[in-house]
Amino acid sequence: MAPVRFLMDASLFPADVLARTAHRYTGDFFVDLACSDNGHTVALTPKHQDVGITDIEGRFRNDALDERLRERIRAETTDLHVSLAQAALRQASPRGPSR
């Protein structure tokens, strides 16, 4: 079966965001990403004849927007996650012997 190919804007979608997005599709598709400064080419080849490709480009683009937002939230909340993890570890640390 022929791959579905489309171009993604490199200024909106960094390569790591597209890699995470592409991973969502590896169950049903063979994925090929070709990244450059101008744009990223995505090729999705169905693994089986019965895999639906209707609106696959639109679904991929929506998922890429979702991953982009998740990346932004991760970046903005990193300090909070670190603080919460440190507090949890302090609470879980063994204390000296009870007397």
For position 99, what pLDDT does the model report? 57
CA distances from 24 to 18, 66, 87 (A): 10, 12, 33
8 A C-beta contact, residue 49 and residue 5: no
Q: Give the tens place of pLDDT for each residue, 24-49.
A: 999 999 999 999 888 999 999 999 99
Least confident of 14-23, 42-51, 56-65, 90-99: 90-99
Residue-range domains of the chain with CATH: 4-92 (3.30.70)
Report residue 22's pLDDT band, with 50, 70 and 90 as the boundaries.
very high
Q: Give the tens place of pLDDT for each residue, 3-14.
A: 999 999 999 999
Rg (CA), the chain: 20
Looking at per-residue pLDDT, the higher value among 95 and 50 belongs to 50
pTM of the full structure: 0.79
Please check the confidence at residue 97 and state whether its pLDDT lies above 80: no
